[in-house]
């Protein structure tokens, strides 16, 4: 008798184990989740796609459907139909619902149907990311995995992001990353529902993008004669280093990112950080500044463009113009940070321009700072004629900034606070919360090289609230948040992934979640379990500890 009871208990247990509802563990956490009873088997379902969606959205749904068929080893047909929800039929339906905001989606899973509603491709892409995080991690692979429990927990999810600009930056100048490496970076961003890649393409240490009107930028400016070793500014490894992206390659990245809902924003950092351009075209420099060499050490070079020369301004317009024609992004980043003015003080062309424009030094700003305002405004106008808005680092606020510019606050939040109070749009990238070139572990020896000595653990990134202390009027100007990945000390893709992961997950909840939905314990436990399995399967070299 006892034995029979034991067998019965074992059967009940086994049955329960099989029937246990799959868990829901999604980063960034959706705005509202209500778990209901039961689960839906996805093997062999039909995927219905609303014919009202545009072609690219239908393609995204088709791709999801095909990948589901591959991993579940079952026949999953994708049907484009005017009637995506059919009572009684087992399926995953994608329905176009125009009353949802652009990036919002709703997902209702019942035992036989999962219905996604969204008004745009962005909403559909985020719903797909959510569905993937609700399924076994093997959904991220290409291998058949029929043995997995391919069920979705029944639930009702409504989701929409807190901020419309959710970015990651990547410096491909201090070190160059191949197209495949950039694609992997984009893949990670897509999982966490980010939508802007800020691509830093020009620097003192290397010019990384083909400009057809100025071929020497990549013939000369894309290569340097060695690189300093570690943190020894007097050293040089003697190895010629460089690389650049052709315009065709740039278009490949733009299109790859776009398929994943990510807009690529180019940055041409001007008028400082231009040594690679000066090495290519020395005539654009200030008097007495030559010789020029693509820089082999890190830091801020005092050698800057002579913006008093009309040829220099024409050069800048030509460069941003060529790129504006390639990048569909509404934003164009013009840099503007760390431009020492020493050379301008002694450069006849700059001084003549200052005189011509009637720029003066007063308690608010020097005449040279106002000269930078002139450069910013001129490039801003030039790009406006091409339908673009500029973003600049918070230095562009010094002096007088023309209306319509968006300020990227990097020296803490003070620039962003001042700019939003003055009515400018702002993207917060405060270094004390969002600089992923800082080390993430207390123990310096437990991680590869990082810049400076600042310590930015996962929990500190997570604690960032970009609107803290702002009036509601000023807060309405905060377009979003971004982390910056400068690569002075990051020379390999493995090191790059280590720096951004898992801090990118913390950032994703800063960007996406309401304050009430943020919970450090929940995301930390998610990271130790489900999320690390996703990163493992995809082979990312992430930092295994988080503090």
Task: Return residues touching ligand ACM (CB under 6 A).
Answer: 337-338, 393, 410
- Closest approach of Cβ 338 to ligand ACM, in Å? 5
- Closest approach of Cβ 437 to ligand ACM, in Å? 9
Token pair listed for 213: 């009107």
- DSSP string covering 470-492: --HHHHTTEEEEEEB---TT--S
Helices (H), 142-191: 179-191
Task: Give 214 or 332: the residue with its C-beta nearer to ligand ACM.
Answer: 332
Task: Give 192 or 410: the residue with its C-beta nearer to ligand ACM.
Answer: 410
- Closest approach of Cβ 281 to ligand ACM, in Å? 23
- Closest approach of Cβ 379 to ligand ACM, in Å? 17
CA distance 281 to 517: 52
Cross-strand pairs, 65: none
Task: Give 206 or 308: the residue with its C-beta nearer to ligand ACM.
Answer: 206
Residue 412 DSSP label: T
Cis peptide before 527 (omega within 30 of 0): no
End-to-end CA, the chain: 53
- Closest approach of Cβ 201 to ligand ACM, in Å? 14
Task: Give 410 or 542: the residue with its C-beta nearer to ligand ACM.
Answer: 410
Please answer whether residues 419 and 412 qualify as being in contact, where contact means their C-beta atoms are separated by less than 8 angstroms. no
Please answer whether residues 296 and 226 qualify as being in contact, where contact means their C-beta atoms are separated by less than 8 angstroms. yes
Q: Helix, strand, or coil here: 536?
A: helix
CA distance 367 to 362: 8
Residue 164 class from Cβ within 10 Å (0-12 exposed, 13-18 middle, 19+ buried)? middle
Token pair listed for 199: 């691509």
- Closest approach of Cβ 410 to ligand ACM, in Å? 4
Task: Give 393 or 462: the residue with its C-beta nearer to ligand ACM.
Answer: 393
Task: Give 322 or 337: the residue with its C-beta nearer to ligand ACM.
Answer: 337
Task: Give 281 or 393: the residue with its C-beta nearer to ligand ACM.
Answer: 393
Please answer whether residues 303 and 285 qualify as being in contact, where contact means their C-beta atoms are separated by less than 8 angstroms. yes
- Closest approach of Cβ 372 to ligand ACM, in Å? 15
């Amino acid at each position: 008798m006892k034995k029979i009871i034991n067998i019965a208990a074992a059967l009940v247990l086994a049955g329960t184990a099989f029937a246990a509802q799959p868990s829901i563990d999604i980063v960034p956490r959706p705005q509202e989740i209500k778990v209901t009873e039961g689960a839906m088997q996805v093997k062999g379902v039909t995927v219905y796609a609303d014919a009202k969606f545009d072609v690219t959205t239908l393609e995204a749904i088709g791709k999801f459907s095909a990948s589901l068929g591959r991993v579940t080893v079952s026949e999953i047909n994708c049907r484009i139909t005017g009637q995506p929800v059919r009572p009684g039929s087992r399926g995953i339906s994608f329905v176009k619902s125009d009353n949802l905001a652009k990036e919002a989606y709703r997902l209702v899973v019942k035992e036989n149907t999962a219905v996604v509603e969204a008004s745009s491709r962005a909403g559909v892409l985020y719903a797909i990311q959510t569905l993937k995080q609700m399924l076994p991690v093997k959904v991220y692979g290409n291998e058949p995995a029929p043995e997995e429990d391919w069920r979705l927990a029944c639930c009702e999810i409504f989701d929409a992001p807190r901020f419309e600009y959710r970015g990651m930056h990547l410096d491909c100048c201090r070190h160059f990353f191949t197209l495949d490496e950039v694609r992997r970076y984009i893949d990670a961003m897509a999982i966490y529902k980010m939508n802007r890649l800020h691509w830093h393409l020009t620097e003192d240490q290397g010019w990384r993008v083909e400009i057809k009107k100025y071929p020497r930028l990549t013939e000369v400016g894309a290569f340097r004669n060695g690189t300093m070793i570690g943190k020894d500014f007097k050293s040089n490894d003697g190895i010629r280093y460089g690389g650049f992206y052709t315009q065709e390659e740039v278009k490949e990245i733009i299109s790859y990112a776009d398929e994943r809902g990510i807009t690529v924003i180019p940055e041409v950092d001007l008028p400082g950080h231009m040594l690679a351009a000066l090495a290519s075209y020395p005539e654009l420099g200030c008097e007495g500044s030559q010789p020029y060499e693509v820089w082999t050490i890190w830091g801020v070079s005092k050698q800057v463009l002579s913006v008093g020369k009309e040829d220099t301004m024409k050069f800048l317009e030509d460069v941003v113009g060529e790129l504006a024609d390639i990048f569909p992004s509404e934003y164009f980043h013009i840099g503007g940070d760390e431009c020492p003015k020493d050379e301008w003080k002694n450069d006849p062309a700059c001084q003549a321009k200052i005189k011509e424009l009637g720029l003066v030094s007063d308690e608010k700003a020097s005449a040279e700072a106002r000269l930078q305002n002139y450069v910013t405004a001129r490039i801003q106008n030039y790009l406006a004629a091409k339908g673009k808005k500029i973003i600049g680092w918070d230095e562009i606020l010094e002096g007088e900034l023309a209306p319509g510019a968006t300020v990227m606050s990097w020296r803490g939040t003070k620039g962003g606070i001042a700019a939003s109070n003055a009515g400018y749009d702002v993207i917060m990238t405060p270094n004390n919360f969002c600089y992923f070139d800082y080390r993430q572990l207390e123990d310096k020896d437990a991680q590869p090289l990082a810049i400076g000595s600042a310590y930015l653990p996962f929990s500190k990134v997570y604690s960032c609230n970009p609107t803290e202390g702002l009036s509601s009027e000023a807060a309405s100007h905060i377009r979003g948040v971004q982390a910056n990945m400068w690569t002075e000390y990051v020379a390999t893709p493995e090191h790059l992934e280590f720096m951004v992961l898992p801090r990118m997950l913390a950032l994703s909840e800063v960007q996406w979640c309401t304050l009430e939905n943020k919970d450090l314990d929940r995301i930390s436990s998610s990271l130790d379990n489900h999320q690390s399995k996703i990163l493992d399967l995809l082979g990312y070299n992430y930092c295994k500890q988080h503090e």
